[in-house]
Structure 1
Amino acid sequence: MTTEPVDWNFPTQMAVGPGRIAALPEFCQQQGIRAPLIVTDPGLAALPMVTAIKTACDDAGMTSGVFADVQGNPTLENVEAGVVAFHAGDHDGVVALGGGSALDAGKAIAFASGQNRPLWDFVDVEDGWMLAKSEGIAPIIAVPTTAGTGSEVGRISVITDSAQHQKRLVFHPQMQPSVVILDPELTLSLPSHLTAATGMDALSHSLEAYCTPAFHPMAEGIALRGIRLTQQYLARAVHDGSDLEARTQLLVASSMGATAFQKGLGAMHALAHPMGAHYNAHHGLLNAIVMPYVLHANRSAIEPKITELARYLNLKDPSFDAFFDWVVNLRTEIGIAPRLLDIGIDDSDAELIGEEAAVDPTAATNPIAFSPAQYSALFRNAVNGEFNAIG
């Protein structure tokens, strides 16, 4: 594999390779952006990386600004504050820079900047997106600094409704960024525990997309390759954060996972969304922890597909059990906690989590339609490290 720069269109324009961030001013001009608002998070905003990117834009004759009031699980209030900053600085486009939170917030700010309705009117239910003023959506360039969410190629922003303690999926086709820059050099400083959690998030996207029963062979093929890239490169990147090839391949696997999950997701995300809203825990870490428990619960519906996947991954004696063991061993190797209890989540809210998981949009494409009680039981299993039948 080479780490030489390369350009793709699938369908998003993507610039891939070390050093590609240098082309950001050119891409801004290409998209008609003269005054970009760089949306990032407080941690990144304090690093020289953001200062260098802003300076490069300013040196190219643009008037840039930085908005960094974005939480780990971005809220409606974060988006509203970002829209205020967008208008106050007379900005005409967004550069979303960071992990999934910054990307989701940036996309939502670009979208909401030209709307006259509340953001929740555009939640991904019953074609709410058709109420939007598409001409009011500012152009977006996405620059991920983690390899996990794949939000850079998505048309949805996951935003927390703090009042209701719910994660809502805001959708519009034009929320998909016009340009994506996958520069592995921007991920080199990512700590190993975040590399692990975000990488498992990418795996969960491809794995759930692959398992969902919807018919979408193209997405399924992308999911298979995304899983294999994670198999080959996640542990490498966790153990050696300077491995540029591994970093590049994980960025690609992340984008592939988010491309694949237009086919659907499932119970991992149905549980992770309410848990993220209630406990403000890292989304990728939640998906990583619940992954084997969901696989076990879905086994009767997915065993043939998982056996085929195990064969594709060249696992010894390919079977459901072989793949299950691979997932568990990978989690151990990269330092993922085996139980939710290990990250401070107990089962006192099991009924509430179960009720909210059952109505989460991602539950609709799980291979088995679990009831609220079954989701509660599945949550308890993940809390306590048990593989009991969920009814």
Structure 2
Amino acid sequence: MVDSDNPESVFTYGAPQLKFGPGASEEIGYDLSRLGDVRRALVVTDPGVAATGLPQRVAEQMARFGVQAEVYDGARVEPTDASMREAVEHARAQGPFDAFVAVGGGSAIDTAKAVNLLTTNDGDLAEYVNPPIGDGRAPEHPLKPLVAVPTTAGTGSESTTVCVLDVLELQVKTGISHPRLRPVLAVVDPDLTMTQPPMVTASSGLDILCHALESYTARPYTSYPRKRPEERVPYNGANPVADLWCERAMGLLGKAFRAAVRDGDDVGARHDMALAATFAGLGFGNAGVHLPHANGYPIAGRVREYRPADYPQDEPMVPHGMSVALTAPEAFRFTFEADPERHLTAARLLDPSVSDGGADTLPAVVRDLMRDVGMPSGLAAIGYADGDVDALVEGTMAQQRLLATAPREITPDDVADVFRASMHLW
């Protein structure tokens, strides 16, 4: 992979300002008042989080600092292009706004990113979606300040430049990626995650796991050909700074994940999972993710009947963390040969009892975690069969932005093998 004549020697690192700790969400009004001349703000959330009263309390904090706030609670869990367009139209009709505050999981944060993008720049959502599904248009104008307040420990969207959505017509999940989408401030309050039910905790935690593992096993930044400054993208490949965040995230997750799912009132486990999510977000937001996430997009986009516990039951869905995890064991078996020692180091970080091993070591550690936190036993358990593989492969191969980060070249046949081996994991 390395261009020996002109290899890359530069990596970049970006991150939002961060405020972390119990009670951090009680200071958002003050934080927003420090971001400049902010008079009106839109709080973006989903109906479930809105029912807790948290977004309204955040809005009331803003009022004490002279900021008029409106709450929009129409963000969809696992947002679609249609739900994002509805949010954008609402913001356009009620605006203009000087800032946005996202309160919720990755779905609310990603919806707020889309709203911010399309109320500050012209054009349609599809123009900004990553190619080949969209045009990959870059925003021409700066965005307004976005403060992200995650209520789940997992997505890392509060740290990243990426907005993820389902394109309904194509039955595929994809994204928009640009540095201007990154929130200016991430407010991570572990207390807000205490009400996550078990399956939400499990799925979100597996998203942390895949963020850290995929970034840690990603193609090294030095394996790319040298880029001009204007060509550099947020996903650099594995690099020394992202590695540190990912290693720390895996160590915390290995100790706290099972306890957080088993006992939602375990304050220490919840705190460690929130910290692991933050670390993993700071890692993958710069190194990038690869095959499990690329596979997860069509898995989520083509679901027919599956309805997971603890999520809205009005229509079928596969939660994001679940969708990326279901092929992760076999994906890491495939990538093992690119850097065996790095895969084994990751396995030891997740499970210190692991000693030496081979290509099955990391997949076995991931499978054990998945089984222990109540994940489905494979793609067949959520309604897929061998007859779906060709369509799933097509959806994966459309995610070239992600596949470019993989440590091995990936063919459609490789992806098909991973999907088939993931039908039954245990």
- Does the pair score TM above 0.5? yes
Residue 64 of structure 1 aligns with which residue?
69
Residue 94 (str. 1) matches residue 100 (str. 2): yes
Moved more, 191-200 or 117-126: 117-126
- Pick aligned residue for 2:89 from 84, 90, 97: 84
For 1:181-330, what aligned pairs fall within 5 Å after superposition? 181-215=187-221, 216-261=239-284, 262-279=286-303, 280-312=317-349, 314-320=352-358, 321-330=360-369
Deviations 1:209-264 (A, max 9, x none): 11112231211222111111111111121122122222222122112222222223
Q: For residue 374 of structure 2, what is the amino acid of its counterpart?
A: G
Q: Which residue of 1 aligns with 2:309?
A: none
Deviation at 1:19, TM superposition (A): 0.9
Name structure 2 gaps, 5 residues minimum: 1-12, 222-238, 304-316
**Residues 337 and 54 (structure 1), Cα distance of their counterparts in 2 relative to 1, 3 Å cut:** same
| Distance (whole Å) between structure 2 residues aligned to residue 154 and residue 232 of structure 1 | 25
Classify the secondary structure of the residue corresponding to 2:165: strand
Q: Give the AA of the match of 1:134.
A: H
Contact 2:290 2:406 in 1 (8 A): yes
Alignment of 1:328-367 (within 5 A): 328-360=367-399, 361-367=401-407
Task: Identify the structure with bigger relative contact order (alpha carbons < 8 Å, sequence gap 6+).
Answer: 2
Q: Tell me the distance in 1 between the aligned counterparts of 2:397 and 2:331.
A: 14
Task: State the alpha-carbon separation in 2 of the partners of residues 250 and 312 from structure 1.
Answer: 15
CA distance in 1 between partners of 2:297 and 2:55 (Å): 29
Alignment partners' CA distance in 2, 1:240 and 1:342: 25
The one-letter amino acid paired with 1:185 is: D
Q: Which moved more, 1:93-102 or 1:235-244?
A: 235-244
Q: Secondary structure at the match of 1:384?
A: coil
- 2:404 is paired with a residue whose SS is helix
Query: Is the 2:333–2:362 contact (alpha carbons within 8 Å) kept by the matching residues of 1?
Result: no
In 2, Cα distance between equivalents of 1:193 and 1:27? 32
Tell me the distance in 2 between the aligned counterparts of 1:10 and 1:240: 34
| Range with greater deviation from structure 2 (214-223 or 107-116) | 214-223
Higher helix share: 1
Check the 8 A contact 2:44/2:112 in 1, yes or no: yes
1:232 counterpart letter in structure 2:
K
CA distance in 2: counterparts of 1:186 and 1:264, whole angstroms: 27
Query: 1:49-76 CA distances to partner (integer Å, 9 max, x unpaired)?
Result: 2232223223443221122222222122
Q: Which of 15, 21, 26 is the matching residue for 1:17?
A: 21
Q: Is the 8 A contact 2:16 2:159 kept in 1?
A: yes
Aligned 1:110-149 pairs, distance under 5 A: 110-125=116-131, 131-135=138-142, 137-149=143-155
- After TM superposition, the score normalised by the length of structure 2 is 0.83
Q: Give me the TM-score of the superposition, normalised by structure 1.
A: 0.90
Q: Indicate how the Cα distance of structure 1 residues 381 and 129 shifts in structure 2: closer, same or farther if over 3 A, else same.
A: closer
CA positional deviation for 1:265:
1.6
Moved more, 263-272 or 295-304: 295-304
CA distance in 1, matches of 2:385, 2:71: 38
1 CA distance for matches of 2:27 and 2:250? Answer: 30
Unpaired stretches in structure 1, ≥5 consecutive residues: 1-8, 387-391
CA contact (8 A) 1:25 1:56 kept: yes
- Structure 2 vs 1, CA of residues 17 and 350 (structure 1 numbering), >3 Å: closer, same or farther? same
Q: What is residue 73 of structure 1 aligned with on the other side? A: 78
CA contact (8 A) 1:120 1:170 kept: no
Paired with 1:350 and 1:72, the residues of 2 have a C-alpha distance of 26
Q: Supply the AA of the counterpart residue of 1:17.
A: G
- Given that residues 28 and 34 in structure 1 are in contact (C-alpha distance below 8 angstroms), is that contact kept between their aligned partners in structure 2? no
Cα RMSD of the aligned pairs, angstroms, is: 2.3
Query: Once the two structures are superposed, what CA deviation does each residue of 1:133-182 show, in whole Å capped at 9, x if it has no partner?
Result: 323x1210000011111000001101222222222321221211111111
Paired amino acid for 1:229: L
